[in-house]
Structure formats: C-alpha cells, structure tokens
Amino acid sequence: MELRVYNVNGIDTGRTISVSDSLLGVEPNDHAIWLDVKQYLANQRQGTHKAKERSEVSGSTRKLKRQKGTGGARAGDINSPTIVGGGRAFGPRPRDYYFKLNKKVKRLARVSALSYKVKEDGLIVVEDFNFEAPKTKNMLKVLADLKLAEKKSLFILNNQDNCVILSARNLPNVSVTDAKSVNTYQVLRANNVIFSETALKELDTILANS
C-alpha cells in the first residue's frame, strides 16, 4: 500500500511511503477490536471499590424485637441491610479486573483499527519533525496546517520527543505516543491518526514480527 507523505505545513511532498497490506489493508475484525478495548479499559480500573457489609458497620448486635408475636416481620440487629444505616448486602469488594488476551488477537485488533482509519481517510503520514522548544502555539500551527484544528488527533512519532509532548499537553484533543506504545483504544478514540514516516515503518516492523 502506498500513502502520500506531507510535511508539517500540510503540503504534499510528492513522495509516497510503502507499507505492507497486513498493516493497513486488512479486513477489520470487530470482535478482536472489542476484546482489545475491553481489556484495555478493564486494566485501567483500580478495583478499589468497597462497601461495608453488616459485620463491618458500627452498631449494636442486640436483637431489635422478639421473633414472634409483634404482627410485623422478624428483625435482627440494627446492622441489617433491610434497615436504613445498616450494612449493604453483597456490596462491591476490592478486585483485580485484569484479564489476558493473546498477542495475535491484540495485533489483529490494532491493524483492524488502523485499517478502519485508512478507509475513513483518517490516517495521515508526515515527515519526521520536532520542535526546538516546547510551545503550544507550535502544535496549534501544525494542526491548523493539517486542517485538524477541531478534531481529536493522535500523533504517533518515532520517539517520545519531549518538546512535542509538552507542546501538545495543554490541548485536550491532542495525544502523542510512539509506535511501540500505541494501542487500539487510542486509535479508535481519535478522529485522525498522524504518523511520522519513521514511526509508520517501525510499527510495520513491530507488527510483522509479532
């Protein structure tokens, strides 16, 4: 597959970059995407939720009334879940939401998400770039030149250039990552994915060997 290469000013350089069809030209697998996104979101959860059960709330264990003869339902102590202020029945407990996903499924999910972006014309390849100093206006200019000012954008660079990261940090719709770290959730969340030339080649190599 051949993709046009632009510079950061949004001008077509007249060059193309060749990538394997196994990276950007596969038939997307929606189930693999769903599994990978589900795993990513599950692994972000802290799992520290906790509610007090009847043995943990503060209160007397005295039986409120006799078992029979009152005309009402039988009742235990004031910590009962049926009484206001009592413990919670079957409340949440701390747990780990992590689950394993096979490497080949995660690879298929990533290439499926990227293939969707290609079909939607949401993938752009730019020449390698960096900034001399971390300035938000530098990133704003790049977005304006690429006509991405009002869209969620994911920049995938060949390395984590600190000046680029700091320049994009204050922009809520812009994320910066590298080829080794990009995941399916990040790709799907962005309207446009912007690759640097070197990053695209690197990701092609990584996925080819996975």
Mean pLDDT over each residue of the chain, to the nearest integer: 92
Looking at the fold, whether 148 and 58 belong to one and the same domain comes out as no
Looking at the fold, whether 101 and 88 belong to one and the same domain comes out as no
**Structure confidence by residue, pLDDT tens digits, 149-163:** 889 999 999 876 788
Which residues form the domain of 184? 2-45+97-208
pTM given for the model: 0.83
Looking at the fold, whether 165 and 80 belong to one and the same domain comes out as no
Handedness of CA 107, 108, 111, 114 (dihedral sign): negative
Higher pLDDT, 209 or 131: 131
**Structure confidence by residue, pLDDT tens digits, 163-203:** 899 999 999 999 999 999 999 999 999 999 999 999 999 99
**Structure confidence by residue, pLDDT tens digits, 92-126:** 999 999 999 999 999 999 999 999 999 999 999 99
Looking at the fold, whether 159 and 62 belong to one and the same domain comes out as no
Structural domain count of the chain: 2
Determine the pLDDT at residue 160.
67
Angle among Cα 148, 154, 156 to the nearest 5 degrees reads 120
Looking at the fold, whether 187 and 168 belong to one and the same domain comes out as yes
Report the distance separating Cα 171 and Cα 156, nearest Å. Answer: 16
Q: Kindly indicate the confidence band of residue 21, based on its pLDDT and cuts at 50, 70 and 90.
A: confident
DSSP at 175: E
Looking at the fold, whether 89 and 120 belong to one and the same domain comes out as no
Q: Which two tokens stand for residue 133?
A: 């100093």
- Nearest Cα to Cα of residue 156 among 124, 186, 196, 126: 196
Determine the pLDDT at residue 98.
95
* Whole-number Cα distances in Å, 168 to 63, 69, 103, 196: 62, 72, 31, 16
Q: Is the pLDDT of residue 209 over 80?
A: no
Residues 8/127, Cβ–Cβ less than 8 Å: yes
Looking at the fold, whether 126 and 179 belong to one and the same domain comes out as yes
Determine the pLDDT at residue 25.
85
CB-based contacts of 96, cutoff 8 Å, min separation 6? 47
